[in-house]
Structure 1
């Protein structure tokens, strides 16, 4: 039977796939018919295919069809020719509907597979994420002296990217150097990508600097490598060098540069990239639009982000989520919620952004309410979601939900316990008063970071266990973790709550002397609180007046509280005046000063404070309580009658109050 397919001779030895071929359609054989509704195999070949069976082969969409086509090829003898056989092998190894095991069995029956077939198997096992087998094919090529080409090394390096150790990739580099293929641009780009992908930027830069010629892929790979490793300055420097040369950036390059701008918060460079895109009249894909939108959001330019968003003809969930995230992080929760509600097809990232926005902006009730809605909508939370929800649980002392998250997701093996998630759980338990459970989670962590140690120290400090906080700090130093300014805020707070004056003073003095950390206003506030609690009011006042920066509300507030504790009216008045100059609308300052004067029976001062409140129109903020009922939070103000069952609630409260009084009487008897 005459075969009518055209195969360039070069394809049989060193194939170089080009853009997608044009198929000349013929009526397919009935035994291998393909439905027009099925997704075609997106194969790549530079061959114009005319043979009817091969035309059907290119439209194959399942292994069942593949076997039918292979059977027909076998009957007609077509399977004995190199090109048809390579197409069957390529489908089995590379198509989404293929079968790599079937491809392997087929490959073993080929007497003399060519280079294309060998690296098809390497690509197939890369796609199946079985790098050891992919790399073994490369080794067999070397041992069998199979002719190599540049693409062989590129695919071998792709396999090496999946290994945990770099040794295999370095060996491929060595072979490329010995065989001279390391001088080819394609291989050089593969080496730069391999090293950059692993974060070995010095090695990637060395290969880059040795190159005599570079294309847009080379530059983009290097820029993206720097951006992915949070080396935004180096990425920007590389982009500027690229602009100075004769290589034009493409869409992928600009996405990488915009990512670096986002990390650095460099709005100026981001706008410059935007201008380049406008001037060069580049094709703007959705990914580039989203990268530019993300840059404006992360650089805090919400107006520019909104203008860009409104001009976008096509948007996806990433576009909407960027706007939700931007407004939420800036505290514009109503705008964030409008974008969230208007998002056509929400994903878990979109839900997480809104939940985090509420949690981070002191709206924990809304955060937990939205979390329940998310679960009800059938979404499975990711780690970022749970971290935000656990923070909200800590703010509300909602121990029951926090425990459920820990037990269901972590103990239930649904989500691995990363350091970030463990830190959030520790913080939640500590803020909910269950410091023993926090310590239990801390003790089981396989890997701790500075946040882990800080969370534990802060937890002990908040629960009044100063000695345990100091012990954790000592353990931290033994493990060679260097403290930061947050560590010392927690440590000094612990000393304050535990009355450890000498230890606190020692830590305060050691901050700059031993660790190079200059005390901030928060550290001074902790020391003033420590001195004030222990009755050293004069020392506390001396410290506040000698601060190298303007005293903050926390510092004066700590001194005012200490004056109330120890009955120093004059110093209390001075502290209150300074506090009122910082926040004249805070009713708590007036109330606290009035109470101090009342305790010392200075009734004239009490009247003057209350008169000052009336003159300034300041009203006392009513006390309120928050309770959780079936996952919903109910807030009650003092003398609140707004609840529909307020009458019944007050009857129950009166009964409880009466019972408590009766118990007190029984105890006295």
Structure 2
């Protein structure tokens, strides 16, 4: 194989001589250009070739895969006039690396249907895919194929061991390793990794020490094992021992240490690794650059993250995606959107990061708009996380019809409704006002976890079905689920809506005595609200006095509301100074106090509060509501006339007012 410089000289020679180079020479030049990041020059040469063979197509497809451009690779693969094992291997491997699992499986089936020979690389790739998907049955089918065709090698055996361990079936991995007549370095490394991956650290370390030879993979396996099991001290010891042993470190070594740096938020360690990466010329490694960007983002050092992104020779989707996630997590959605728009091909991680970022800031309309855009442009790439984000946007905005459309998509695509998707659907239906649909989802999920129970109990509470909430709470305990802090907030919410004081007190006591949960401020706020709604002000006053920690604005707000309901103006005055100091910029609190004093005829006190409000230039945000009409969102605020349909809205309101007056008059006539 010629070097890059030799290939450039050779092409220059043929151009000057005005001679068409042989196909096999041009193939080598394309390969050299691709591997040195000159993909556009490679494509130009490919397009100018008067004659191509299967190797030409393979080199160009693989070139796009190397340069992280799966979109162009797929397009070229479809256009290829000749396809062989290498063609399919390249595109299947590219799909797997870019998270397009369904496409990889479809291509493998197509390969079988077209009677294309499968080699060791094909089968290893598919075993790795089965491991990524945790599809044990699929992995076993490939193993059966290997047995039937009498195909075996150290790499294939190691891939099967790896597949079993990643699917949580360590026993079969141990059995297969024990049955091997010759245990080479590759399969032994795989077995060490299997032990560490399944929490069997002692067995993994024992096997590692018994090995005659330790290569880079051996050390990396132990290093990553300690990183994954959360033992930073041991991981750093292995990293130092590896350096002292003289075994060369590679991208995976630095990747593990960067993961450790991110979990510890240790920017100093990350910078040390960054220096090693620069010194060893590994800055073009996409795996490492992604790790560097990720760790700098998690440490809050976005300038360094941007620097890494700009310094890499050719931007790759995964590195840029890490930068989008970093900006979104820090609330820098303008920057996240800017970087997102630069991506030539947007993956699901990038879409999910941007949508989740807007959801975190309660910008549900933008999040929902992005999700719809995603569905139109990236319909073949939908995964679990993006669906959960979309359902979350629908729940925040009470967009029932859009939520149903996502549910229909899940059914149509035969996506399994697991605990996470089930909880997102249940939460969406509950917050959109359809508790019956939420119940159906709850009953259909087979393996119900605590989160699902909590959501259903909260749903019942918010829809006024208090007894159903209490019965489900008791059913949850009978099923062996241990309630947490959120479980009790949900059940207290049910009690306060129905005024069930005795039941609420019983649950509060059993939370402490039976379940060992110390009440938090949210629990106290719920109980004070319950007492206030049930005219038990003595109990509310006793509770707020005996809270072991300093009450926050939520607790004081609940007590203020209790005072308002029960006409206890003097008690409200006790918390006024504290509450307004905690929420000095919350105009709604000032209005709440002013209205409370006005209701009792305390006009001077009301004026005093209004004066405070004016002095601090605090304003109460106007009430807001919205409605979806034909895929458009219309937002309304009190006194707003900026809506394009404002005239029609106010005309309809006036008509309704007149109708209500007419009905009221008719009722009075009938009474007489």
What TM-score results when the alignment is normalised by the length of structure 2?
0.76
Q: In structure 2, do the counterparts of structure 1 residues 398 and 186 end up closer, same or farther at CA, with 3 Å as the change threshold?
A: closer
Q: In structure 2, do the counterparts of structure 1 residues 523 and 285 end up closer, same or farther at CA, with 3 Å as the change threshold?
A: same
Per the alignment, in what secondary structure is the counterpart of residue 605 of structure 2?
helix
Q: In structure 2, do the counterparts of structure 1 residues 442 and 149 end up closer, same or farther at CA, with 3 Å as the change threshold?
A: closer
Alpha-carbon shift at residue 346 of structure 1 (Å): 2.1
Q: For residues 425-477 of structure 1, give each alpha carbon's deviation from its aligned partner in whole angstroms, at most 9, with x where no partner exists.
A: 11111212222221221111011222111111222222233322222221111
Q: Give the structure 2 partner of residue 591 of structure 1.
A: 591
Q: For residues 296-336 of structure 1, give each alpha carbon's deviation from its aligned partner in whole angstroms, at most 9, with x where no partner exists.
A: 22343323322322333321222232222222222222222
1:215-614 equivalence runs, <5 A:
215-227=215-227, 235=235, 238-243=238-243, 245-280=245-280, 282=282, 284-380=284-380, 381-406=382-407, 408-614=408-614
Alpha-carbon shift at residue 658 of structure 1 (Å): 1.0
Partners of 1:425 and 1:65 lie apart in 2 by: 43
Indicate the larger mover: 226-235 or 534-543: 226-235
Q: Give the structure 2 partner of residue 652 of structure 1.
A: 652
Contact 1:576–1:589 (Cα < 8 Å) also in 2: no
Contact 1:262–1:295 (Cα < 8 Å) also in 2: yes
Q: Give the structure 2 partner of residue 169 of structure 1.
A: 173
Per the alignment, in what secondary structure is the counterpart of residue 663 of structure 1?
helix
Q: For residues 18-42 of structure 1, give each alpha carbon's deviation from its aligned partner in whole angstroms, at most 9, with x where no partner exists.
A: xxxxxx97999xxx99466321599
1:634 aligns with 2:634: yes
Contact 1:563–1:569 (Cα < 8 Å) also in 2: yes
Q: In structure 2, do the counterparts of structure 1 residues 415 and 514 end up closer, same or farther at CA, with 3 Å as the change threshold?
A: same
1:39 aligns with 2:58: yes
Partners of 1:553 and 1:27 lie apart in 2 by: 73
Q: In structure 2, do the counterparts of structure 1 residues 241 and 448 end up closer, same or farther at CA, with 3 Å as the change threshold?
A: farther
Q: For residues 136-178 of structure 1, give each alpha carbon's deviation from its aligned partner in whole angstroms, at most 9, with x where no partner exists.
A: 5876899xxx9x98567546646756877444432222234xx
Contact 2:283–2:312 (Cα < 8 Å) also in 1: no
Q: For residues 489-546 of structure 1, give each alpha carbon's deviation from its aligned partner in whole angstroms, at most 9, with x where no partner exists.
A: 2222222222222332333333343333322222222222222222222332332233
Q: For residues 38-57 of structure 1, give each alpha carbon's deviation from its aligned partner in whole angstroms, at most 9, with x where no partner exists.
A: 215999xxxxxxxxxxxxxx
Contact 1:262–1:294 (Cα < 8 Å) also in 2: yes
Alpha-carbon shift at residue 378 of structure 1 (Å): 4.7
Q: Which runs of 5+ in 1 are unaligned?
A: 1-23, 44-59, 67-93, 105-116
1:56-135 equivalence runs, <5 A:
62=83, 131-132=139-140, 135=143
Q: In structure 2, do the counterparts of structure 1 residues 323 and 579 end up closer, same or farther at CA, with 3 Å as the change threshold?
A: same
Alpha-carbon shift at residue 230 of structure 1 (Å): 6.6
Partners of 2:440 and 2:61 lie apart in 1 by: 53
Alpha-carbon shift at residue 236 of structure 1 (Å): 5.0
Partners of 1:610 and 1:337 lie apart in 2 by: 41
Partners of 2:334 and 2:125 lie apart in 1 by: 49
Q: For residues 605-630 of structure 1, give each alpha carbon's deviation from its aligned partner in whole angstroms, at most 9, with x where no partner exists.
A: 22222222222222332222212222
Q: For residues 407-427 of structure 1, give each alpha carbon's deviation from its aligned partner in whole angstroms, at most 9, with x where no partner exists.
A: x12332442212111101111
Q: For residues 376-417 of structure 1, give each alpha carbon's deviation from its aligned partner in whole angstroms, at most 9, with x where no partner exists.
A: 3354532212212222222222222112222x1233244221
Per the alignment, in what secondary structure is the counterpart of residue 38 of structure 1?
helix
Alpha-carbon shift at residue 577 of structure 1 (Å): 2.1
Please provide the CA RMSD for this pair. 3.9
Indicate the larger mover: 507-516 or 493-502: 507-516
Partners of 1:317 and 1:238 lie apart in 2 by: 31
Alpha-carbon shift at residue 280 of structure 1 (Å): 4.9
Q: Give the structure 1 partner of residue 616 of structure 2.
A: 616
Alpha-carbon shift at residue 485 of structure 1 (Å): 1.9
Contact 2:489–2:526 (Cα < 8 Å) also in 1: yes
Q: Give the structure 1 partner of residue 4 of structure 2.
A: none
Q: Between Structure 1 and Structure 2, whose CA radius of gyration is higher?
A: 1
Contact 1:232–1:261 (Cα < 8 Å) also in 2: no
Partners of 1:454 and 1:605 lie apart in 2 by: 43
Contact 2:624–2:635 (Cα < 8 Å) also in 1: yes
Q: For residues 273-304 of structure 1, give each alpha carbon's deviation from its aligned partner in whole angstroms, at most 9, with x where no partner exists.
A: 22433455545412210111112223433233
Per the alignment, in what secondary structure is the counterpart of residue 56 of structure 2?
coil
Alpha-carbon shift at residue 637 of structure 1 (Å): 2.0
Partners of 1:287 and 1:424 lie apart in 2 by: 32
Contact 2:162–2:191 (Cα < 8 Å) also in 1: no
Partners of 2:500 and 2:186 lie apart in 1 by: 66
Q: For residues 55-86 of structure 1, give each alpha carbon's deviation from its aligned partner in whole angstroms, at most 9, with x where no partner exists.
A: xxxxx9645999xxxxxxxxxxxxxxxxxxxx
What TM-score results when the alignment is normalised by the length of structure 1?
0.77
